[in-house]
């Protein structure tokens, strides 16, 4: 049995919830594309992966800029697409494939636009990921930049609010246990500054990588979307895996129109057989 399949089954058995996959249009995977990506990963010495909301649609979450995405529908005056809450979903094949690439030492770093916590939940190490837009599970200190889980500091949304930087601090909100500074949500809202540490880590690994794989991002949200271009400008090969066209398709060495989970499952099988 393939190692990846074993890991996926083990993950399912260790979690009581069942992974529910969104029904989206069927995409035919080309074996030549799978083989080519596998060969590029095998030759790479410093693989960095960049993920967007599209990697989580197969877990049951809506994306933002896809054809049926949240912002796409809003701009057309349509109601939001059906989507589960972050607390109701589990990592899918794509998330678990990245964990396996990490554990094998093939993926050196992960840059993500997602706030859904599915990368950490799947097993990505905290020192190997830059969450550019934060993580809904975490609160951070405005003074010392320490990060805590909501449970750790006793933050209850119905009592203490969202924790937005823009909202006035409430007297009953928990404070930082290290410096007594103000705690806010780690999620980056519109017009909020990007987290400095995450930004610097992302830049560093973009300069270091020789291969960047973008998964499930329209690459239309800046400044986060600039990082694949930064890697490409510094000599890295660029692969984009996304159902819909992206803003950087013209720069990519390889464009693959496929669902992330389906493609990465085939990719891991190909890597196992090499």
How do residues 33-55 score in pLDDT, each as one tens digit?
Answer: 999 999 999 999 999 999 999 99
Instruction: Flag whether pLDDT at 28 surpasses 60.
Output: no
CB atoms closer than 10 angstroms to residue 255: 18
Closest CA to 241 of 118, 93, 73: 93
Looking at the chain, the number of H-run helices and the number of E-run strands are 10, 9
The helix (H) or strand (E) run that includes residue 268 is helix 260-273
Tokens of 78: 């349509």
Return the DSSP state at 211. Answer: E
Q: How far apart are CA 100 and CA 81, in angstroms?
A: 31
Residue in 95, 119, 133, 205 annotated catalytic: 133
Tokens of 247: 């803003």
Q: Could you tell me the pTM of the whole model?
A: 0.84
State the pLDDT at residue 12: 43
- 66 CB-contact burial (10 Å; exposed 0-12 / middle 13-18 / buried 19+): buried
CB-CB contact of 49 with 212 (8 Å): yes
Report pLDDT digits (tens) over 128-172. Answer: 999 999 999 999 999 999 999 999 999 988 888 888 888 888 888
Instruction: Flag whether pLDDT at 18 surpasses 70.
Output: no
State the pLDDT at residue 68: 64
Backbone phi, then psi, for 10, in 5-degree steps?
-65, -40
- Annotation says 93 is catalytic: no
């Amino acid at each position: 049995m393939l190692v990846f399949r074993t890991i996926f089954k083990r993950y399912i058995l260790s979690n009581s919830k069942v992974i529910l996959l969104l029904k989206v249009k069927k995409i035919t995977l080309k074996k030549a594309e799978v083989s080519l990506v596998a060969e590029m990963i095998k030759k790479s010495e410093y693989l960095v992966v960049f993920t967007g909301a599209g990697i989580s649609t197969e877990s049951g979450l809506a994306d933002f800029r896809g054809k049926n995405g949240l912002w796409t529908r809003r701009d057309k005056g349509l109601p939001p697409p059906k989507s589960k809450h972050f607390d109701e979903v589990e990592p899918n094949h794509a998330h678990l494939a990245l964990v396996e690439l990490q554990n094998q030492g093939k993926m050196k770093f992960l840059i993500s636009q997602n706030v859904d916590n599915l990368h950490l939940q799947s097993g990505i190490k905290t020192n190997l990921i830059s969450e550019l837009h934060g993580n809904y599970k975490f609160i951070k200190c405005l003074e010392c930049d320490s990060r805590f889980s909501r449970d750790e500091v006793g933050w209850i949304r119905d009592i203490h609010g969202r924790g937005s930087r823009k909202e006035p601090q409430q007297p009953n909100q928990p404070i930082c246990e290290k410096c007594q500074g103000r705690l806010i949500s780690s999620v980056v809202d519109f017009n909020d500054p990007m987290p400095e540490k995450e930004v610097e880590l992302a830049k560093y690994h973009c300069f270091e990588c020789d291969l960047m794989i973008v998964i499930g991002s329209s690459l239309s949200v800046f400044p986060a979307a600039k990082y694949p271009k930064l890697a490409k400008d510094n000599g890295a090969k660029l692969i984009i895996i996304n159902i819909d066209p992206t803003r950087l398709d013209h720069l990519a060495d390889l464009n693959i129109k496929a669902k992330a989970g389906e493609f990465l499952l085939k990719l891991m099988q190909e890597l196992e057989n090499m």
